[in-house]
Amino acid sequence: MSLPSVACVLVSHDGARWLPQVLAGLQAQEIAPTHLVAVDTGSKDDSRELLAAALRVGPWDGHLDPAPSSTSFPAAVRRALDHLASRGVAPEWIWLLHDDSAPAPSALLELLEAALQRDADICGPKLREWPSLRRLLEVGVTISGTGRRETGLERGEYDQGQHDDIREVLAVNTAGMLVRREVLERLGGFDDELPIFGNDLDFGWRAAASGHRCVVAPAAVVFHAEAAHRGLRRTPLTGRHTRYAERRAALYTLLVNCRPQMLPLLWLRLIAGTVLRMLGLLLTRQVGFALDELAALLSLYTHPRQIHRARRARRALHTEESRAPRLLAPWWLPYRHGLDALGDLAAAVSNQAQDVAERRRLERIATEGGARVAVRGKTPEDDELAEETGWLPRFLTSPVAWLVTVFVVLVLVGARDAWDGVSGAGALSPVPDGVAAWWQLHLSSTHPLGVGTELPAPGYVPILALLGTAFLGNAELAVAALMIGAIPLAALGAWRFFSIIGRLLDHRGAPRWVLGWGAVTWALVPVASGAWGSGRLGTVVVAAVLPWLAAAALGLADPALDRRRRAGWRVGLLLALMAAFVPGTWLLAVLMTLVVGLVGWRTERLGSWRQWRPVAVALGTPVLLLLPWWLPLLANGAPGGLVLEAGRVPSTEVGAWGLIAGRFADAGAPAALGFALALVALLALVPASTRVWVGICWAVAAVAGLAVALLGRLSVDIAGGSSHASLAPSLLLLQAAFITAVLIAGQGASGRVPRPDPPARRRFLLPVAAVAALLPMVTLGWFAVTAGSPAPATASPVPAYMTQSARADVTHGLLLLRGSVEEGLSWTVHRGDGTTLGEDEILALTPPDDGFNAVLRTMVAEPSPELVDALAEQGIVYLLMPAPADGRVAAVLDATGGLVHASTEDRRTRAWRVEPEPAADSVVRETARWRTLLVILQALALLVVLVQCGPARPDPEEAR
Amino acid sequence: MSRVGLPSLATGRRWLIPLLLPVLTLAGIAVAGGSGPPSPPDTAAESVPLSHRTLACPTADGGAEPAPAGPGLGPVTVANSAEAQGQVRALAAGEATAVELDGAALVSVGLDGPVVVRARGNLAPGLVAGRYAARGRARGAECVGPVADQWFTGVGAGAEHRSVVELINPDAGDAVADMTLLGSTGAIDAPRLRGVRVPGRTSTVIDLAATVPHREVLALRVEVSRGRLVTHVLDEHRPIGNREGSSDWLPGQAEPAPSNVLLGLPAGPGPRRLTVANPGEDRARVQVQVLTADSQFRPTGLEEIDVEAGSTVSVNVTTLVRDQVADGALGLVLTSTAPITATLASLAGGDRSHAVPAPAATRATVPLPDLPDLPASVVLTADARVVNATVISHGRQGRVLATEIVELDPGVAVSHRLPRRTRLVTVVTEEVAFFGAVLVGGRAGSLEQGHLVLPLRPERLRGLRPHMAPGVP
């Protein structure tokens, strides 16, 4: 076979680092190109000298073309072709090489053979990693609907001959591309709009569209450094933003080559895709990349003429035999990548959350040698199970699986009635009609509640709004799911936290039955305490989040600074979540920090600011995130809101004994169970092997006790009386400390501690352990049998027609007057759908309207038409005295002109309609601009915090 | 282990801190004692001088048709026992007139129909009014304020004994009354007495004989379910035949009580009838005792009265009372096993009068009929322990005719004669309350002048202003 003539075009720019190997590769070719044109685009290193030397010694007709540095790749290729033409040379094939792509000796031969064999016009080699590694880079490429360069390879896939069939592809990389000169010229070469990146895909697509065949010849190997792609080489053409250039090229390629009927859809899809990609990049703290994405999109979308011109130029090339459609990536590929990305992110989060215990273990391996330290988690029990393959045998033989199943089933049985809806029960007000009401509550600076208020919505309102939105606007379901889901979530978090603690104690970790005990006991704390049954949403959420926060807080002790920093943000976010429901948790965290700081100062182990900075971040984050709540709360003189908790006020009472037993007043499981736990926690101090750790738990309990001492006497003025500060955070912390103490002692009793107590002494603790083991079982049984659901809601005394009137118009308020002359009268205003979840605290903390109160006080004694007018001005349409109405007051109101008797079902309930029309501007006011600013600030802060919480990105160098 | 911290745990004081921590924890909790129930705010009503007062007086003939026996009532007389001066308003049938008051001086208001007297400010405390016959036998009624629920025991709905109920609405808004009647066998079905609507500033008259004809002596309960109403009941006894009938207004009783003191027993021949109603759900056994100036005793010849739950019993006590009055009896004390209401109706010397229990008071004022030479005496007994009562008698012009101290003992009654020209009497005690009534005519007067028993009801000088505050949302 006579070989066709081949001219090699080598484009170089500052490639002295790679050129020697490239040129060596060229010289070692089994068949040499007849011509070699080297185009150097203004190299400042030794490239030109190297090229000049190589051109002289090779078996080819060599030429060095010194081009200016602004020469793009397409222009450089064109210069080379022009040079050949000027010399009257018309080689059949052009072989393109980069200065960072070294061909294997047989590369050209294999390419030619493949091209001739398959009757291809373009042929590309298999690209492998520089300099001669076995990792595959590309074996032909195509492009997905989102503009992603698809190689069809796994990341870092090794070349084991698995892709060695010659096959048709959409495009091949220009590094090593063998192309018929005629085809190259007919297609107009590479597009000047794509100076560096993506011109190969565009060229391949154009070639395919005009019916040319492009194949990849895997037998031909070229080692490619991808210097420009990896940012190892910066030219004026790549700029500093490689990603921008790449992304722009991809979008350009899609927009100019796609079928005309697809263009409008693609136009929209690329916008949506860019937004999604930006979000993803922001979440992984790649702000620069996100901006690059945006800039790439904008640069094209703001120049539609450019696209139009390019499309017109391509139209002439299109033929009936277009090969492009079947060579493009399948439609579903971007979605699979999306799922993969999510999976990667989850794995990264999980890996990043690798606890401090694991890293300590690794440190210990490093210092002590691995002799004593077994492989993590490989306990004998694991080994047995690992041998099994089917999930059913694994499930049936796993005590943990049984435990989890029994627990979940019993919890579902216990919470059976809650599925019908829990709102309106106990301390939990009814949910609003829709999620929009929650958003409105969060976004507004004034609320048409009562007689109008400027107090802010509590911090948990946007959380509920988000959750409700996720539940497709079903607010009722969102709250029910939160109440029920909090129990398993708490169990999961506790399992995780306790397993970390267990491994901190000993590399073998706590036995799983101990972990199971701890997780179940903790998950039942909100139930046993009565918080769940009385609808204390805040307490339930805090119980669910606390173990996760504790696990994150352990990261604050991580030796690696970056991980400490991430832990700080994570703790801050979780603390903000808890403080949104029970702000007292933040105060408790501050107190805890102060105590730890004080201990550190006394023992001269305070550490540097560097160590404390993540803690400051953790404490500062809730303040930042809850600013739209806390700032107006303080500005409106209602700081008391900072010690209350989510739900109806006043806060649930809890006595001294209740705190120790973990029981709110007159609620929850039998208190004896709680006292038993406290006693076991006290006895946990006895074993010497774990006393230090149990002591730490008791120190935490002491901080909780200190918080009780500080907050217990605090009283907050609320509408209709006063409320004590919520002691739920202290109660939960006490219980957490007790459970952890018992758990640690349990691990000690199992012998999985560095210096276990003698077995004889451990046997002594068996009865105590037996009692402890019974506690969660009895509690779970109690829950499954008796709890059911939070206490049922009481029927509203408001007649249906009044409720409808109030719903129809927020200015059609209903004034409820309760009490008697002797015991005092109290009033509340019912508007819209009544007081719903999120509005309780606003109404309770709103300072009393003395003027309106005086109007009502005078009205029940000496009514006059002017007072009735005052009612209308406040947007009151009905007056209602629920049964049993005080006849004397009712008689006075009956006698008042301007009040007309209104019907009620119950004769003992009295009602009147206010004759004057209510004022339209009575309670509806415009939202202040500062509120909008605060909410925007909050959203931005949340975004930043979420991004900061994300897993640390692996160092690129380390990854390589 | 030393990495963990807490060095003292690992060294010398190994037991100290583990012991100290639980103690500290529990101490912290004990110091605060948890959060008990929040202290309830003070929501007690405030006692303030009465700021407004409304009284309503009956129509001159009680609104009855045909007109009742006896002469019609004269003009309304108004006074202020608290010595305040100023203008009050009197309204009748859409007509309003200003009335200038000068302390205890009685001022006549010449308006027809039911008259409403309204006072505000300092004139409200101590406002009293009455409407009595200006000639002939003593009859009439004290003007009273609106009452939400009260009992009129011993009404009639028959041919010989009929009662006419006058409902007066003093306010602008509508009022609704629900009336129930208790007979000897229980409640009497009277749908026309339910939901009686009285439009604002009007009155309604209901003749029980025409509405619910019934021969028995009954007890009437008037509940105001909406608005405010003043109720007056004219009670007439007109025997069939040519005999002259007699009528007078029957005062109401605020609420059933297990102990009822009926003071004011007129002398003279004629029947006496004691009517007892038991609105409760338990049978009542009522013991009647006679109260004299010296003692309280159970008279012979009168057994315990059994009153079934929800029924009314009327007992003829003519002989007993007549004899006892002759022996100096001043009143009856009814002690019951269940709350009851009671009235002693007397037709002494052909003139009808009613003694009804009044609540214990520490101050009471009542205007008297303006009839010449009409004897009157105030009959008093102490509620719980010995107390001195001050009896102040005012003349027509408000001049104090006498201020006398009367010692009251529980268990005995005192009858204190008032000066002849007394037109307004005030009885005041300190702390310890008394029961009392004014007996006009009767004992010492001639039978032609008739008699009238006016219960001494607690006089309201102060009112309760309810505490008002926003409630728990």
In tens, the pLDDT along A292-317 reads 999 999 999 999 999 999 999 888 88
A679 touching B (Cβ < 8 Å): no
Structural domain includes residue B8: no
The answer to whether the CB atoms of B38 and A723 lie below 8 A apart is yes
Nearest chain B Cα to A850, which residue?
B469
Q: Is the peptide bond before B357 cis (omega within 30 degrees of 0)?
A: no
Name the amino acid, one letter, at A58.
G
Collect all residues of chain A within an 8 Å Cβ-Cβ radius of residue B45.
821-824
Tokens 């697509």 correspond to what residue? Answer: A205
Q: Is the peptide bond before A650 cis (omega within 30 degrees of 0)?
A: yes
Helix and strand totals (H; E) in chain A: 39, 20
User: How far apart (Å, rounded) are the C-alpha atoms in residues A757 and A21?
Assistant: 67
Collect all residues of chain B within an 8 Å Cβ-Cβ radius of residue A734.
25
Q: What is the pLDDT of residue A391?
A: 72
Q: Considering CB atoms only, which of B7, B32, B464 is closest to A712?
A: B32
Q: What is the pLDDT of residue A116?
A: 92
Chosen from B21, B35, B48 to mutate, greatest number of chain A CBs within 10 A:
B35
Give the H/E segment covering residue B237. strand B230-237
A598 touching B (Cβ < 8 Å): no
Q: What is the pLDDT of residue B4?
A: 41
Nearest CA of chain B to the CA of A426: how many Å? 13
Q: In which region does residue A677 sit, left (phi positive, over 0), alpha (psi from -120 to 50) or beta (all else)?
A: alpha
Q: Is the peptide bond before A131 cis (omega within 30 degrees of 0)?
A: yes
The answer to whether the CB atoms of B32 and A724 lie below 8 A apart is no
Collect all residues of chain A within an 8 Å Cβ-Cβ radius of residue B16.
none
Average pLDDT, rounded, for chain B: 88
Q: What is the pLDDT of residue B2?
A: 37
Chosen from A361, A734, A826 to mutate, greatest number of chain B CBs within 10 A:
A826
Range with the lowest mean pLDDT among A350-359, A532-541, B14-23, B161-170? Answer: A350-359
Give the H/E segment covering residue A881. strand A876-881
The answer to whether the CB atoms of B467 and A839 lie below 8 A apart is no
Collect all residues of chain A within an 8 Å Cβ-Cβ radius of residue B10.
692
- B208: which 2 tokens? 């029980």
Pick from A622, A629, A547: which is nearest to A587 by CA?
A622
Q: Which of A262-271, A414-423, A888-897 has the highest mean pLDDT?
A: A262-271
In degrees to the nearest 10, what's the CA dihedral of A605, A611, A616, A617? -160
Pick from B99, B111, B93: which is nearest to B168 by CA?
B93
Beta carbons of B152 and B250 less than 8 angstroms apart: yes
The answer to whether the CB atoms of B172 and A724 lie below 8 A apart is no
Nearest chain B Cα to A710, which residue?
B32
Under the banding of pLDDT at 50, 70 and 90, the label for residue A2 is low
Q: Considering CB atoms only, which of A698, A713, A835 is closest to B22?
A: A698
Chain A 826-845, residues with CB within 8 Å of chain B CB atoms: 826-828, 835, 839-840, 843-844
Q: Considering CB atoms only, which of B5, B26, B172 is closest to A705?
A: B26
Q: Is the peptide bond before A462 cis (omega within 30 degrees of 0)?
A: no
- pLDDT of A414 above 90: no
A655 touching B (Cβ < 8 Å): yes
The answer to whether the CB atoms of B227 and A894 lie below 8 A apart is yes
Q: What percentage of residues in chain A have a pLDDT greater than 90?
A: 39
* CATH 3.90.550.60 boundaries in chain A: 6-239
- pLDDT of A749 above 80: yes
User: How far apart (Å, rounded) are the C-alpha atoms in residues A315 and A221?
Assistant: 34
Under the banding of pLDDT at 50, 70 and 90, the label for residue A787 is low
User: How far apart (Å, rounded) are the C-alpha atoms in residues B455 and B379?
Assistant: 10
Nearest chain A Cα to B17, which residue?
A695
In tens, the pLDDT along A146-177 reads 888 998 888 788 888 888 899 999 999 999 99
Q: At what angle do helices A561-581 and A584-602 cross, to 10 degrees?
A: 140
Chosen from A708, A735, A852 to mutate, greatest number of chain B CBs within 10 A:
A708
Q: What is the pLDDT of residue B80?
A: 94
Q: What is the pLDDT of residue A938?
A: 95
Name the amino acid, one letter, at B145.
G
Q: Could you count the other beta carbons within 10 Å of the beta carbon of residue A78?
A: 20
**Neighbouring C-alpha atoms within 13 Å toward the C-beta of A525:** 39
Collect all residues of chain A within an 8 Å Cβ-Cβ radius of residue B228.
891-892, 894-895
- pLDDT of A208 above 80: yes
Nearest chain B Cα to A892, which residue?
B227
Structural domain includes residue B38: no
The answer to whether the CB atoms of B228 and A723 lie below 8 A apart is no
CA distances in angstroms from A699 to A662, A688, A738, B410, listed in the order given:
17, 17, 11, 70
- A609: which 2 tokens? 């600011």
For A777-794, what is the mean pLDDT? 73
The answer to whether the CB atoms of A819 and B466 lie below 8 A apart is yes
- pLDDT of A384 above 50: no
Helix locations, B105-248, DSSP H: 208-211
Structural domain includes residue B6: no
CA angle A714, A718, A720 (to 5 degrees): 125
CA A253 from chain centre, in angstroms, equals 33
- Regions of chain B with pLDDT less than 70: 1-15, 32-39, 242-243, 442-447
CA angle A281, A284, A290 (to 5 degrees): 20
Q: What is the pLDDT of residue A132?
A: 66
Structural domain includes residue B60: yes
Three-state DSSP state, A657: helix
Q: What is the pLDDT of residue A955?
A: 43
Q: What is the pLDDT of residue B412?
A: 92
User: How far apart (Å, rounded) are the C-alpha atoms in residues A284 and A326?
Assistant: 35
In tens, the pLDDT along A943-955 reads 889 888 877 655 4
Three-state DSSP state, A331: coil
Beta carbons of B326 and B270 less than 8 angstroms apart: no
Using H for helix, E for strand and C for coil, what is the string for A164-175?
CCCEECCECCCC
Structural domain that includes position B243? 48-463
Q: What is the pLDDT of residue B202?
A: 92
- pLDDT of A593 above 90: yes
User: How far apart (Å, rounded) are the C-alpha atoms in residues B145 and B109?
Assistant: 17
Nearest CA of chain A to the CA of B44: how many Å? 5
Nearest CA of chain B to the CA of A349: how many Å? 27
Collect all residues of chain B within an 8 Å Cβ-Cβ radius of residue A536.
none
Q: What is the pLDDT of residue A239?
A: 67
CA angle A13, A18, A21 (to 5 degrees): 130
Nearest CA of chain A to the CA of B25: how many Å? 4
Collect all residues of chain B within an 8 Å Cβ-Cβ radius of residue A529.
none
Nearest chain A Cα to B10, which residue?
A692
* Strand blocks (E) in A839-904: 876-881, 899-902
Q: Considering CB atoms only, which of B36, B52, B467 is closest to A862?
A: B52
Three-state DSSP state, A640: helix
- B288: which 2 tokens? 């009647």
User: How far apart (Å, rounded) are the C-alpha atoms in residues A232 and A247?
Assistant: 18
Nearest chain B Cα to A504, which residue?
B4
Tokens 């038991």 correspond to what residue? Answer: B278
- pLDDT of A791 above 60: no
A882 touching B (Cβ < 8 Å): no
Structural domain includes residue B12: no
Q: What is the pLDDT of residue A351?
A: 61
Under the banding of pLDDT at 50, 70 and 90, the label for residue A53 is confident
- pLDDT of A84 above 60: yes
Q: What is the pLDDT of residue A761?
A: 76
Q: What is the pLDDT of residue A411?
A: 86
Chosen from A659, A833, A867, A913 to mutate, greatest number of chain B CBs within 10 A:
A659
Counting the structural domains of chain B, the total is 1
Name the amino acid, one letter, at B305.
I
Q: Considering CB atoms only, which of B27, B148, B228 is closest to A705?
A: B27
In tens, the pLDDT along A441-492 reads 999 999 988 888 889 999 999 999 999 999 999 998 899 899 989 999 999 9
Q: Considering CB atoms only, which of A603, A692, A712 is closest to B34?
A: A712
Q: In which region does residue A423 sit, left (phi positive, over 0), alpha (psi from -120 to 50) or beta (all else)?
A: beta
Nearest CA of chain B to the CA of A779: how many Å? 23
- pLDDT of A532 above 70: yes
Give me the architecture of the A6-239 domain, per CATH.
Answer: Alpha-Beta Complex (3.90)
What are the residues facing A590 on neighbouring strands?
Answer: none
Collect all residues of chain A within an 8 Å Cβ-Cβ radius of residue B145.
none
Q: What is the pLDDT of residue B5?
A: 40
Pick from A513, A491, A492: which is nearest to A502 by CA?
A513
Q: At what angle do helices A584-602 and A728-749 cross, to 10 degrees?
A: 50
- pLDDT of A357 above 80: no
Structural domain includes residue B43: no
User: How far apart (Å, rounded) are the C-alpha atoms in residues B152 and A73?
Assistant: 114
User: How far apart (Å, rounded) are the C-alpha atoms in residues A466 and A438?
Assistant: 9
